[in-house]
Chain A
Amino acid sequence: MTPILTITGLKKRFGDRELLNIDEFSLEPAHSYVLAGPNGAGKTTLLRILSGLETCEIASASFLGKPVSLSPYPRMLRNEIVYVHQHPVMFSSSIAENIGYGLRSRGVPKAEFKALVEESMQWAGVEHLRGHKPNTLSGGEKQRVALARARVLKPKVLLLDEPTSSLDGAAKEQVIELIPSLAREGCSVLIASHDADLINLSGSTRLVLRNGRIESL
Chain B
Amino acid sequence: MEISAAIREAFVLLFTGDAELWRIIWVSIKTSIISLLIASPFAILAGYLMASFRFPGRKILIWLTQVSLSFPTVLIGLMLYLLLSRQGPLGSFHWLFSQKGIIAGQVLIGLPVLVAFTLACVQAADPRLAETSVTLGASRFRVMMTVLKEVRFGVMAAIINGFGRILSEVGCALMVGGNIARETRTITTAIALETSKGEFAQGIALGILLIAVALVINGVLMLIQGEAHTSGVAL
Q: Which of A53, A82, A87, A92 contacts B136 (CB 8 A)?
A: A82
CA distance A52 to B126 in the complex (A): 18
Judged by a CB distance under 8 angstroms, whether B132 is at the interface is yes
Known contacts A91-B146, A91-B150, A92-B150, A106 near B137 by CB under 8 Å: yes
Closest B residue to A106 using CB positions: B137
Contact B134 A53 (CB under 8 A): yes
11 further interface pairs, Cβ-Cβ under 8 Å (given A105-B137, A105-B142): A78-B137, A82-B136, A85-B131, A88-B128, A88-B132, A101-B133, A101-B136, A101-B138, A102-B136, A149-B136, A153-B136
Judged by a CB distance under 8 angstroms, whether A33 is at the interface is no
Judged by a CB distance under 8 angstroms, whether A89 is at the interface is yes
CA distance A101 to B142 in the complex (A): 10
Judged by a CB distance under 8 angstroms, whether B139 is at the interface is yes
Query: Which residues on the B side are within 8 Å of A101 (C-beta)?
Result: 133, 136, 138
Judged by a CB distance under 8 angstroms, whether B58 is at the interface is no
Contact with A along B118-147 (1 / 0, CB 8 A): 000000001011011111111100100010
Query: Which residues on the B side are within 8 Å of A102 (C-beta)?
Result: 136-138
Looking at B129, B134, B135, which has the most chain A CB atoms within 10 Å of its CB? B135
Main secondary structure of the interface of B (DSSP, over half): helix
Q: Of residues 63 to 100 in A, which have CB atoms within 8 Å of B's CB atoms?
A: 78-79, 81-83, 85, 87-89, 91-92
CA distance A102 to B146 in the complex (A): 12
Closest A residue to B138 using CB positions: A105
Known contacts A53-B131, A89-B128, A89-B129, A105 near B150 by CB under 8 Å: no
Contact A85 B128 (CB under 8 A): yes
Contact B138 A51 (CB under 8 A): no
A selection of 16 A-B contacts at a CB cut-off of 8 Å is A52-B135, A53-B134, A79-B137, A82-B135, A82-B136, A83-B135, A85-B132, A87-B128, A88-B128, A88-B132, A89-B126, A101-B138, A102-B136, A102-B138, A106-B137, A150-B136
Contact B139 A78 (CB under 8 A): no
Interface residues on B, range: 10 to 19
Number of A-B contacts (CB under 8 A): 49
Q: Which 7 A-B pairs have the closest CB atoms?
A: A102-B136, A89-B128, A105-B137, A83-B135, A105-B138, A102-B137, A78-B137
Q: Which of B129, B131, B135, B137 contacts A91 (CB 8 A)?
A: B129
Known contacts A105-B139, A105-B142, A89 near B134 by CB under 8 Å: no
Query: Which residues on the B side are within 8 Å of A78 (C-beta)?
Result: 134-135, 137
Judged by a CB distance under 8 angstroms, whether B149 is at the interface is yes
CA distance A83 to B132 in the complex (A): 8
Contact with B along A120-157 (1 / 0, CB 8 A): 00000000000000000000000000000110010000
Query: Which residues on the A side are within 8 Å of B139 (C-beta)?
Result: 105
CA distance A105 to B137 in the complex (A): 6
Q: Which of A87, A88, A153 contacts B137 (CB 8 A)?
A: A153
Contact A53 B135 (CB under 8 A): yes
CA distance A134 to B79 in the complex (A): 49
Task: Report the minimum CB–CB distance from B195 to chain A (whole Å).
Answer: 47
CA distance A42 to B150 in the complex (A): 30
Q: Of residues 128 to 185 in B, which have CB atoms within 8 Å of A's CB atoms?
A: 128-129, 131-139, 142, 146, 149-150
Contact B136 A89 (CB under 8 A): no
Task: Report the minimum CB–CB distance from A80 to chain B (whole Å).
Answer: 10
